[in-house]
Structure formats: structure tokens, C-alpha cells
Chains A and B, each alone.
Chain A
Amino acid sequence: MNENLKFIQGNEVCVEAALYTGLDFFAGYPITPSTEIMEHMAKRLPKIGGKFLQMEDEIASLCAIIGASLTGHKVMTATSGPGFSLMQEALGYAIVAEIPCVIVNVQRGGSSTGIPTHVGQGDVMQARWGTHGDHAIIVMTASNHQDVFAITVDAFNMAETYRTPVILLFDEVVGHMRERIFIPKKGEISLVERLRTSVKRGVDFHPYLPREDGRLPISDFGGVHRYNVTGLVHDMWGFPSDNPKIAYGLVRHLVDKIQNNTDKIARYKEYYLEDAKTILISYGSAARSALHVVENRRGRGEKLGLLELQTLWPFPHSLVQEKCADAKYVVVVEMNTGQILQSVKICVDRPERVFLANRIDGVFITPTDIRNILRLIEGKGV
């Protein structure tokens, strides 16, 4: 038996991947369907000398990991809808203060407290715009355990590269489902480590002056450089400012560092797109049902393809445009009222040919649900 072969829940895969990157600090608050992440962290972290905190709520959980990240640690928290709502203020803080961290949202069904033990994908737009003010954000997802691992590692790498929070938008099905996974060996996936400043003690350090390549070297709290971190608009030393030039420059920097790298951040998988007449676009667990339909129909010779998005934000506009250029129909498969649908419609030449196959009742979307929409598009009865 291969010792790297495991049969575990997606939530546990996420933990394995986070530890693989060198994460050693986690704070969280229990909430279905993400709780297994914190349970595994509670068990695993002390074994490697890492720190685990159960905080009083999700607000405090995100605040605590932001604090720990500033001292030089790789950090994460995990939650679900209601907890993710509570995190929005601190999320904005981490964006503006440019503090790397990873936030997992294992989506449940419904809005508000919803259907906690069921599935949904209704937090896509919240992940993009949930915190107030202009900003950019990286949001990633995956549909199977091997990809959950890879994408989680990617999320940590991107958090370090762009000095930003990264949101992992998983869902109940992926989180709770068990399937096989091969845990990659050490070194198999490359890791991005914290970029620390080379400015020596006693030399003026500018914590918020990006390098030529856009990256922002940090000095850990407790180190030789004492500086200020704030959520207020700030200058290159991290001190508050209401200078319009500085305010403009900060917003542009925060947005551009992510939007201008959309192509580099885009992760996706494609199946049979080369000659596909109908393209399904899906993500997260819904992509499994989409792929099921595609594989079945390909077996019957039908020209169906799947574009599985793993980076949802920044939305890979040019990728979707290019892949869908020759498609007769595009069907977005998601478990919400069409949150990615809108972005897809903006990208394609003929938005009237973009359709939605969805489910919003807490029930996992089935291949039959998708087939019914395909039949309607093709002018056949359901």
C-alpha cells in the first residue's frame, strides 16, 4: 500500500495541503460544513510545534491569523457562509494592509443560516465584493481532492506572491466527500515563501513601497524594523494619509497587482474543448456533474466540452472569451442563481447563447439537471 495514498474528506485534504506549504498557525470557530478543517488542525498543528486557536467568533479568527501572519507565519482560517459574512471587515483590512493569509469558505446551501449540512455555491459574488470599497481579490476552488490539494497549495503561494488574502471557495460536497488522494512528496510542488526585506537595521525601511516587479518585501513584527500597519489609506511607511495622490496610488496598486496578473493567476482545466459545439462552464463540485455529462455524451459522439474554472476571481475574461469563441452554446453549471453566468455573458460575443443549468435548493446538481437544460436548448422536450 502506497503510504501517500489516502481516502479522506476534502476538508482534510485542505488541511494536508496547508501543512504541506508550511502553515503553522490556524485560528477558527466551528461551523458546518467546514468544522473538520479546524478539528484536523487542532490535532495536527501542535504535533509539529504549530499553533492552533479556537477563537470566540469568526471575526476574531480572521483577526488572529492576520496578526500571526505579520510575525512571519503562514496562516489560515476556515468557515462557512455566516462566518464568512462576519469576516468581511477584517478581510478588507488584510487586503489594504497587504497581509498574506488564506480563508477557506466551505459553502453551505441557502442564504443567511441557510441549509448548513447541504451544498450551495451562493457565495461567489460575496467572495468578490463582500468587503466594502474598491479592491481586487483572488478566489479559487476545486472539484476533486487531488485538485483541492494543488489549489490549496496554490492559494498559499499566491497569498505570498501578491501579499494578499486568498479565498478558497469550496463547498459541502467537496468538503465532506471522501475519495482517494495521493499526497505529493515534499518538493513535488514548489512553494513560495515570504519575501523578507534585505534592508538592514538602522536604514529607513519602507514597508509599503513595492519593488520594481510589484512584490512587497516584509519585515516581520518583532524584527529590527518598527513600522505601522493600518487599514487607513497610508503612505509608504504605513502611516495614515488623506493625500489624494497617495489614496489614488494605493487603490491602483491594490487592484492592479491582481488584475494585471489575471492570466498568471488563472487556473482551469479543460475537457474536449477543441471541437466542442456546446461548452459547459463550471467549478467546484458542480463541475463533477458537468464532467459526468460531458464524458457520457462524448461516448455517444456528441461535441460537448467542459471548461472548469479553478480561479473565479480575478475572472479569467480572456480565457473564457478565447475558449468559447467557436461554441454554439455555452451553459454555465453552478449552484446559485447565476453568479458566474453574469461574468461569462460579459466575456462572450453572443451573450444570448449563454444558458444556466443550476440548482438552488440545497440539493447537489445532478447530470439529469444539466441534461434537461441541454435538451431545452436543443429544442427537445424535457
Chain B
Amino acid sequence: MAIKDYIRERFFPHIWCPGCGHGMVLNGLLRAIEKIGLDKNEIVMVSGIGCSARISGYVDFHTMHTIHGRALAFATGIKMSRPELKLIVPMGDGDALAIGGNHFIHAARRNMDMTAIVINNRVYGMTGGQFSPLSGYGTMSTTSPYSNIDHAFDVVELSVAAGASFVGRTTTYHAQQMADILGQAIIHKGFSVVEIMSQCPTYFGRKNRLGSAIDMLEHFKENTTPIGSKAKQKNPDLIERGIFVQKKIPEYCDEYKKIIERAVKD
């Protein structure tokens, strides 16, 4: 199937700003899905609220555009009721980790088979550029006009601690790696998290004087490095990319099948 067959063409051009990374994530995701060869009818995409949540409108799957922060909770109900479906949940950083933070860690702990994509552009874009829990100390935004004193989560560390059985990170600059990690995350049986560092030139870039979208992509290239690289040893400030966790642990729906067996016998 061609990439084009996975999208709802009539809704293009999309609503994202020029230079936004969300379209690049959509691109990488569709390439991953095409490579795996999933049928459109077996994919359910659930999204919350925000720029990232609009991805669900553009893909020709079963799509559910829900409420802010709760996409994983809706996805949990869908997956539990129809375990044969593939669940993909794209979220923004505020969506996933501020308002949705509790659902995020519990979904990770439960290890139900679904893929959570955290598109991290370090800002609330839809509402016009407020700081998010991933903006980080010292960043500027419309709600931190004198500099941000909130510290950021590390999505990877948080996901690992919460028990996610697959954790990866990449950036919009690393298009090939993005498609590759997303593909592995989708195939992975269990709760998978992929953080994709993405650029918001309109708000985060402008407020923090990071230049154009190209400049921001360059920034991802220069400030990240593969996991365990020599560069990281030399420069500990580099952010690592790659797959941090990929482990086989009992998946929730499989475990629930055993509960049914036990209950029926009882």
C-alpha cells in the first residue's frame, strides 16, 4: 500500500504551522506502518487535545479524538475490549505529561499493548505558547515571561521508572531512525513509549531565540547522540537517542485471559 492510502487526503493541507515537526512525525509513523504492512481496519488511533492530537484526523484508521490528557485511558478501554486491534496514541508533551501524567504512568505500569508517541516540542502550541512540563528550567514562554523556574521531566527516565516495556527516543531530524523506532515500538508486545523531540518554530523557537525550523533541526542533530556513543562520554550534555528499554514482560490483555480462565474454573 502506498503512504497516500493511509491518509484522508481531503483534509490536507494540514493545520500545522510551516516548519512544525508534527507533519514529519506523521510521515515517519506512516512509513513505519506501511513497512509493517498493517491493515487500516486493524489500527485505532486515539489522540487527546493539542496540535499533536490533530494527527488522528489525517489518518484513514479508526480514529478517536478525545479530551485533553485522557487519550491513553480511552485507548485502554478500546484495547481491553478488542485486544486484536493495534492502538497508536500520539500525544503532545503537555497532553501526555501534565494533564495526562497520571494516565501515562499507569498505562506504562499496566503494560497493555499500545504505542504512546510523545511528540515533545516543549510548549503548548494550540493555546499559543505556554510552558509545558518538558519546557525546562530557564526557558521562555507566554506564561514564563521572566524565565521558567519549573524543571522538566525526562520522558525516557519517567517511562522506564513507570515500567514501560519499550522506551525509545529520537528527533524529527533523524527521519530514518524515527520510522525505525516507531516500527519496532508498534510491533513490540506491551506498552511502548517513543519520545520524538520536535520543533515548534512558531512559539518555542521564537520565544527562545532558536531561529528557524531548519536551525532547530540542526540543533537536534548537534545536541543528540546515539545511546552509549563516545561523544556522550566526552560531552555528557548530549541527549541520547535510540531504544533504551525493550523487554518482554507479561502483557495486560494476555494476563487478563488467564484471569478469565481462572474465574471460569472457580
A interface list, Cβ under 8 A from B: 25, 27, 43, 46-47, 49, 51, 53, 55-57, 59-61, 63-73, 75, 89-90, 93, 221-224, 226-232, 239-240
- A63 lies within 8 A of B74 (CB): yes
Q: How far is the CB of A368 from chain B (nearest CB, A)?
A: 46
B24 at interface by CB-CB < 8 Å: no
Number of interface residues of B (CB under 8 A): 39
- A51 lies within 8 A of B80 (CB): yes
- Name the A residues within 8 Å of B63 (CB-CB): 226-229
Q: How far is the CB of A113 from chain B (nearest CB, A)?
A: 19
Q: How far is the CB of B86 from chain A (nearest CB, A)?
A: 10
Closest Cβ neighbor of B102 among chain A residues: A56
- A56 lies within 8 A of B80 (CB): no
Give me 19 A-to-B residue pairs in the complex whose CB atoms sit less than 8 angstroms apart, sorted by A's number: A46-B260, A46-B263, A47-B266, A51-B81, A53-B77, A56-B106, A59-B73, A63-B70, A68-B78, A68-B81, A70-B78, A71-B81, A93-B66, A221-B78, A221-B82, A222-B41, A226-B40, A227-B62, A228-B64
- Name the A residues within 8 Å of B75 (CB-CB): 67
- B82 lies within 8 A of A71 (CB): yes
Contact pick for B260, options A49, A67, A90, CB 8 Å: A49
**Given contacts A68-B80, A68-B81, A46 and B70 within 8 Å (CB-CB):** no
- Name the A residues within 8 Å of B85 (CB-CB): 71, 221-222
B60 at interface by CB-CB < 8 Å: yes
Q: How far is the CB of A54 from chain B (nearest CB, A)?
A: 10
B interface list, Cβ under 8 A from A: 11, 40-42, 44, 46, 56-57, 60-67, 70, 73-82, 84-85, 102-103, 106, 256, 259-260, 262-264, 266
Closest Cβ neighbor of B15 among chain A residues: A240
- A60 lies within 8 A of B76 (CB): yes
CA gap between A290 and B64 in the complex, in Å = 46
- Name the A residues within 8 Å of B11 (CB-CB): 239
Please provide the 8 A-B residue pairs with the shortest distance between their CB atoms, ordered closest to farther.
Answer: A67-B77, A64-B77, A46-B263, A63-B73, A60-B73, A68-B81, A56-B106, A230-B65
- B78 lies within 8 A of A71 (CB): yes
- Name the A residues within 8 Å of B61 (CB-CB): 226
- B57 lies within 8 A of A240 (CB): yes
- Name the B residues within 8 Å of A51 (CB-CB): 80-81, 256
- B66 lies within 8 A of A56 (CB): no
Contact pick for A226, options B60, B77, B78, CB 8 Å: B60
CA gap between A93 and B66 in the complex, in Å = 7
Closest Cβ neighbor of A57 among chain B residues: B102
Q: How far is the CB of A156 from chain B (nearest CB, A)?
A: 16
CA gap between A226 and B67 in the complex, in Å = 20
CA gap between A226 and B60 in the complex, in Å = 7
* Other A-B pairs, 12, CB within 8 Å; known A67-B64, A73-B81, A228-B64: A27-B77, A46-B260, A55-B73, A56-B102, A59-B70, A60-B70, A67-B77, A93-B66, A226-B60, A227-B62, A228-B63, A231-B67
Contact pick for B264, options A47, A73, A226, CB 8 Å: A47
- Name the A residues within 8 Å of B82 (CB-CB): 71, 221-222
Contact pick for A222, options B44, B102, B266, CB 8 Å: B44
Contact pick for B80, options A49, A53, A57, A70, CB 8 Å: A53
